[in-house]
Amino acid sequence: MTDPAFVVIAAATVIGAIMAVEARDLVYGAASLGISFLGVAALFILLDATYVAVFQIAVYIGAVVVLILFTVMLVGPVKGEAPMELKRTSLFAAVLVSMFLGIGGSLANANAFPGADMCGASCDLQKLSQTLLVNYGTQLEVLSFVLVAAVIGALTLAKAEKD
Amino acid sequence: MVDLPPDPISMTIAIMTSPLFLKIAIFPGLTSIGIIAAVLTWLDRKITARVQLRIGPQYVSPLGGILQSFADLIKLAFKELIIPEKADRFFFVLAPVFGLVLGAGLIGLIPFSPESLISNVEVGLPVFLAFVTLSPTLVLLAGWSANSKYPFIGGLRSLFQQTGYEIPLWLSSLGVVMMAGTFNLTKIIQAQSTGWFIIPQLLGAIIFLVTSVAEQERIPFDLPEAEPEIIMGWQAEYPGFLFLAAQGAGFVKLYAFSALFTTIYLGGYLGPGPLPPLFWSLFKTTIMVVLVILLRGAFGRVRLDQLLRYGWTLLLGLAIVNIGITYFLIVGFPTI
Amino acid sequence: MVAEGIPELVYYLGFVLVNTLALVLILILLVSPRDRKPTPEKRAPFESGQIAVGRGRTRFIIQYYPYLLMFVVYDVVAMFLFAWALNLRALGAAGTVPVFIFVTVLLVPLGYALHLANRPENW
């Protein structure tokens, strides 16, 4: 019924996310997060959104994970504990959430967006660019302000306080 | 793609003789990547030696020691794998191996000739650059995992260097995308049939060259492996085969970046007359490789704060200027 | 070889390249001899003869943190610029004006970050 590639990739994504949350050693957690992002990029490819997938890899794994790793390495390791520890309750919670997502997902899929413009294998990058910049130009500007706010905020927070 | 016969053995044979598999396994795929990386190691040592008025490798074969790197490969493969006591084994082993895989993935995107292309991905150029963007993560993990002062400092320096020069790399190649109107590397080559992009994109090409040398951690940007200061930087603790992987990944990246430069600025496999396209792409790539290697003999090392300052102000500014120039060229002369 | 489906090509490339290369590397790793006689000296961190003292993960070059932050933001900016660059000839002014404003607005935090970046007293 479902594409085996999808099942494998989705499993990898979810397992990566679970490990990212559960890992004791934060560096392992950040690396698992990177794997999870890789899974998301693969899912984008399955959805014929190759442009988004490529930039998912470049921005999320290439930049965000690096930033997280750098910050985590600052904190230092939790001494004397194994890097990974799966408690029974968190495993149960993970299975439950996956079941809900799976059921919800198949319900959504069954009535998915009839008549929507499904992008085939020859997905038009030109059209993507056109839509993004012309139709959503205002949103792009708002996005730029969000980014500016994020940067200035992060820099200000990270600055040492003058005593 | 291929009509696979039902039983496993003839299916295996069918896959192995299919053109795609041969391309992946032999040329421009894995076997040729290995051989070319080994030859480039030798070439680097030989050219650097000649620039420094030495001879370089000379004993291992009659032809100027060209088999030296193969001898080194065999030697390193059989060396004992000593992993430092407090090191994080998982990332320690994984990081250089992944670096090698990443480098090989880069080569798969380059069209060496209209037939020798492993994958004609429509978003070819961003995929290449995205894979390059993954490399600071690996080096940071490699430096951290050794749990030793010098590799760690080297890993951090490498992180700042590579991330700092990543953005000018993206933005300088943006000029090529503007002119060609596509991300597909084969179409970019074909768009250069009226003129190689290096001429209108001279500024962009220079920025691309400088930033790609910084990405490869080659001299003059070899601060992360500065020998007199921090031994070998993030590679310091790596034994035998892992050291081979770390060094080999560097030379595969040299090959990949030079090949990309010829593809997007020098017209790739386009070339006159009776010589086959494959010859032209390899010839131009070799010229770029030699150019980058010569830089090693000519320059001193850039200090980290200078490097970051110039990367983020000068190079980024010039890249944006290049985008502006290209924009006005396209608007002014719509026939380019 | 612009085949019938780009996603198929992308995963075929990824799958075969990674698996075949991984196979080769695993074979070589199998050949490499393991550390049969670990002694404390062998496994100590290497410092050209000195005995290593102190933590392995020592000095952090924290004063360059703004550069890292800038990298994350400008990676996103590059993404939008690539979308713009692709379609430049067809878009005309309607597409270029938003991008121009976008880039100009985002040069402001760059200036601020560079202003903060080389001052160690800030961290």
Does residue A117 sit within a domain? no
- My answer on whether A93 and A126 are in the same domain is no
Q: Which domain holds residue A67?
A: 1-109
- My answer on whether A66 and A40 are in the same domain is yes
Give residue B196's identity as a one-letter amino acid code.
W
Does residue A87 sit within a domain? yes
- Say whether C102 and A63 touch across the interface (CB within 8 A): no
Q: What average pLDDT score do residues A19-40 get?
A: 86
Distance of residue C17 Cα from the nearest chain A Cα, in angstroms: 16
- My answer on whether A61 and A101 are in the same domain is yes
Contact assessment for residue B198 and residue B265, using Cβ atoms and an 8 Å cutoff? yes
Tokens 């490819």 locate to A45
Does residue A115 sit within a domain? no
Nearest to A155 among C4, C69, C99 (CB): C69
Integer Cα distance of C115 and C122 in angstroms: 11
Q: What is the pLDDT of residues B12-35, one digit of tens each?
A: 666 666 666 666 666 666 777 878
Does residue B82 sit within a domain? no
DSSP state of C63: G
Query: For position A10, which CATH number holds?
Result: 1.20.120.1200
Does residue B79 sit within a domain? no
Give residue A14's identity as a one-letter amino acid code.
V
Q: Which domain holds residue B167?
A: 87-332
Does residue A114 sit within a domain? no
Integer Cα distance of C44 and C27 in angstroms: 28
Query: Of residues A122 and A4, which shows the higher confidence score?
Result: A4
- My answer on whether A7 and A48 are in the same domain is yes
- My answer on whether A42 and A81 are in the same domain is yes
Q: What's residue B254's pLDDT?
A: 92
Integer Cα distance of A41 and A36 in angstroms: 9
ipTM of this model?
Answer: 0.82
Q: How many domains does chain A have?
A: 2
Integer Cα distance of C118 and C98 in angstroms: 32
Integer Cα distance of B103 and B275 in angstroms: 29
Q: What's residue B206's pLDDT?
A: 93
DSSP three-state, residue A163? coil
Q: What is the pLDDT of residues C49-72, one digit of tens each?
A: 666 666 666 666 677 778 888 898
Where is the domain boundary, A85, A109, A133?
Answer: A109
Q: What's residue A118's pLDDT?
A: 46
Choose the mutation target among C72, C77, C114, C115 for the interface with A, i.e. most A CBs under 10 Å: C72
Q: Which chains touch C (3 or more CB pairs under 8 A)?
A: A, B
Does residue A17 sit within a domain? yes
The number of C-alpha atoms within 13 Å of C113 and in the hemisphere containing its C-beta is 29
Nearest CA in chain A to B138: A66
CB pairs under 8 A between A and C: 128
User: Which residues of chain A lie closer than 8 angstroms to B163, CB-CB?
Assistant: 63, 66
The model's pTM is 0.84
Between residues 70 and 129 of chain B, which touch chain C (CB distance below 8 Å)? Answer: 77-86, 93, 97, 100-101, 104-105, 108, 117-122, 126-127
Give residue B176's identity as a one-letter amino acid code.
V
**β-strand partners of B221:** none
Distance of residue C22 Cα from the nearest chain A Cα, in angstroms: 17
Q: What average pLDDT score do residues C39-53 get?
A: 67
With a CB cutoff of 8 Å and minimum separation 6, the contacts of B136 are A62, A66, B158, B159, B162, B163, B166
- My answer on whether A126 and A53 are in the same domain is no
Q: Is the pLDDT of residue B288 over 90?
A: yes
Of the pLDDT bands very low, low, confident and very high (cuts 50, 70, 90), residue B108 is confident
Distance of residue A121 Cα from the nearest chain B Cα, in angstroms: 10
Contact assessment for residue B276 and residue B114, using Cβ atoms and an 8 Å cutoff? no
Does residue B112 sit within a domain? yes
The two three-digit tokens of residue C119, written as one number:
């001052």
Does residue A116 sit within a domain? no
Does residue B203 sit within a domain? yes
- My answer on whether A87 and A153 are in the same domain is no
- My answer on whether A96 and A129 are in the same domain is no
Nearest CA in chain B to A28: B91
Choose the mutation target among C4, C73, C118 for the interface with A, i.e. most A CBs under 10 Å: C73
Nearest CA in chain C to B114: C1
Q: How many domains does chain B have?
A: 1
